[in-house]
Amino acid sequence: MLRSISIQNFAIIEQLELDFDRNFTALTGETGAGKSILLGALGLALGARADTDTVRHGAERAQISAEFDITHRADIQRWLEARDFEDTEQQQVLVRRVVRSNGGSRAWINGHSATAQDLKALGAELIEIHGQHESQALKTPASQLALLDAGIDHAVLQSVQAQHRSIASLIAELEQIRQGADPAQLEFLRFQIQELKPVAVSAEEWQALDQAHQRMSHAGDLMERCQIALDAVDDDDRGALAAIAKAQAAIEAASRRDQSLATLDESLATASIHLSEVSDSLTRYIAEIDTDPSTLQRLESQVSQLHAMARKHRTDPEQLLDLLEQLQSRHDLIANAEQAAEAVEEKLRLAREQYLQMARKLSRERQKQAKKLSTAVTSLLADLGMADGQFHIDISFDDTRKPKPDGLDTVEFQVSLNAAQPLRPLRKAASGGELARVALALKVSTVSNAIGTLIFDEVDTGVGGATAQIVGELLRKLGRDRQVLCVTHLAQVAAQANHQFAINKVSTSEKTVTRIRHLDQDGRIGEIARMLGGTEITEQTRSTASEMLTQASKAS
């Protein structure tokens, strides 16, 4: 339940802190005093769209904080824990929202930074709001279906939605296969494959070919430079090997007199071995280098052909074999498209059969809920002054329709509001006041047992007299098991409340602010008398107000 709310600089509310009790609380006041602004502030704290226009004129930011008691809500406690929003005692949740006048907003849950989506998800578990405009929305098929589905097993609906996604995915896959199975594209792929197959080489083959071509193209220069190096190493008189041999002889003679020079003799011997290996390698390289012009011509032709093919396909020569494999895979896929399409079509047929089975199950669940809801709403209509009122939910299942995420049902709310009148669609049969009462009956019949706080914003529009008292009694009854807040203009509804706040607007030459007072018994008598008698409050209207409160208290 909602414990308290703190509001700063929101619309025409400058500073406000309210504590709320259990049961039924009425919010009353003149039109325009700011009753719905209070609900707007609560909605903002629970993730509604942040608008800079809601920041009080002249203020830098608006701030709304709301505290909820979740002592018996293990589901919310688990939700908070899963998202690291829990508090130390797990018995409350505090939400805070700040909106800056220059744009942007921030949000917190139990002191932890949160997103507006986090607030919205949490708010959906804490509060249900029935606004004064929801009655009109009730005329739309989508709203009617959503209201009916609120009372069924969501796992059944989710299975239908999941199967519909599978069907959509298979249809897209089949379309892609059919679009790809183009005979002209298949023929072009064959041409490309035939063109590439004789010449394409792997990256390793290209590297070897390119090195061989480079070697033969510069064979003369390579032989000349290698011969210079060989002469420098192994010339009989001036080569490095001859010089090292002289050095070895000198060091060997010297080491006979000084043994410390023996290590130099070993180093020179090692150097001589390495240079001998270099000499042998150079000799073999010079002897093996190919200078045949025909071989060079063949290599140049092959390299040139690979470069030309790579340019044509906008790739590198070493990538041609990979490209060939890709083209072959695409060719095979298109060539086998008919078989692939048949396989996907079979999957699609099975998916549609499964969807139809699930949709039938969903329709049966809706039929059961429709019967239950029709009985409950019809009973409440009698309580709301429509003794002859009948409510019925018509569900028609059409397995020839194109699969939809919400199944194959057409749902229509129907009413008969007078004796001997046939059932007619709700969107055509009900006036504004009648529609408001039907909407209230539906809201009461479908309210979740888990939701701890229900808020009604002028749901009594279009009713009065004895019916207004029945509406109040109904809200008081709802308030026995949960917290109910109701914005109302009707004294009969307010008198049934367990608690009451009076909201009024105060204007000065400098500013206009909204003030809210929690009323004691005498204050309630005065406020209800005002609601009964307007600006002039007489002893008679006060007496009537007092009697109404007494009767409501006795009834509970």
Structural domains for the chain = 1-135+448-519 (3.40.50.300), 184-335 (no CATH)
Return d(Cα 294, Cα 160) in angstroms, integer: 73
Q: Would you list the DSSP string of 115-170?
A: -HHHHHHHHHHHEEEE-TTHHHHTTSHHHHHHHHHTTS-HHHHHHHHHHHHHHHHH
Give the DSSP H/E element, type plus range, for residue 515. strand 512-518
Helix (H, G, I), strand (E, B) or coil at 11: coil
Residue pair 157/305 in contact (Cβ under 8 Å)? The answer is: no
Among residues 372, 381, 353, which one has the least CA distance to residue 470?
A: 381
- Which tokens sit at 254? 């010297």
User: Averaging pLDDT over each range in 52-56, 80-84, 363-367, which range is the top one?
Assistant: 363-367
Query: How confident is the model at residue 461, as a pLDDT?
Result: 67
Confidence band for 89, pLDDT divided at 50, 70 and 90: low
| First-to-final CA distance of the chain | 21
pTM of the model: 0.63
More confident residue, 367 or 125: 367
What is the pLDDT at residue 134? 65
User: How many Cα atoms sit within 13 Å of 234 on the Cβ side?
Assistant: 14
Q: Is residue 510's pLDDT more than 80?
A: no
For residue 180, pLDDT over 70 is answered with: no
Residue 267: pLDDT band (50, 70, 90) is confident
| Longest Cα separation, the chain | 142
| pLDDT for the residue 521 | 94
Dihedral angle at the C-alpha atoms of 266, 269, 274, 277, nearest 10 degrees? -150
**pLDDT, position 213:** 79
Predicted confidence band of residue 64 (pLDDT cuts 50, 70, 90): very high
Mean pLDDT of 219-246: 80
What pLDDT was estimated at residue 257? Answer: 80
- How confident is the model over 413-434, as a mean pLDDT? 83
What residues form DSSP beta bridges with 108? 96, 113
Helix (H, G, I), strand (E, B) or coil at 88: coil
Give the span between the Cα atoms of 139 and 428, in whole angstroms: 9
Give residue 310's pLDDT: 85
